[in-house]
Amino acid sequence: MIESLEKMLAKGVDNALLRFGLGKGYLDLGENAKAAEHLQRCVAFDPKYSAAWKLLGKAQLASGEPAAARQAWEQGLEAARAHGDKQAEKEMTVFLKKLDRQPR
């Protein structure tokens, strides 16, 4: 799947959905920095894409960047609330609470 998405990107297709797919694909493979890069492009295309903010935070946390993860999830919460995306809102609230409990 990633190969076909990368080919589309190489041909000049670039949009939020494509970047989300690439970000999720790389996150699933454990390539967190690549995932974060694509997910950042995704939310640049569509700042209201709450699912992308959620995954961006996960990728950043997995990359050892808890402050960046917090920022992504806080922005994601705003997007989720604006859209009425209750599930994403709940999940990111839990992620932030877990982050608050981690030793600094």
Sole residue written with tokens 């694509």: 38
Kindly report the average pLDDT of the chain as a whole number: 96
**What gap in Å lies between CA 28 and CA 15, rounded to an integer?**
20
Residue 104 predicted with pLDDT over 70: no
Give pLDDT, residue 51.
Answer: 96
pLDDT at 70 over 80: yes
Crossing angle for the helix pair 66-83 and 50-62, to the nearest 10 degrees: 170
What would the two tokens of residue 78 be? Answer: 């705003």
Confidence of residue 8 (pLDDT cuts 50, 70, 90): very high
The whole-number pLDDT of residue 1 equals 86
pLDDT in tens, 34-65: 999 999 999 999 999 999 999 999 999 999 99
Residue 75 has pLDDT above 90, yes or no: yes
Q: Give the per-residue pLDDT at 102.
A: 83
Residues 6+ apart with CB under 8 A from 23: 35, 36, 37, 38, 39, 42, 52, 55, 56, 59
> What secondary structure letter does DSSP report for 104?
-
% of residues, the chain, pLDDT over 70: 99
> How far is residue 22's CA from residue 11's CA, in Å, rounded to a whole number?
15
Residue 103 token pair: 């030793």
Instruction: Determine which helix (DSSP H) or strand (DSSP E) holds 51, and give its type and residue range.
Output: helix 50-62
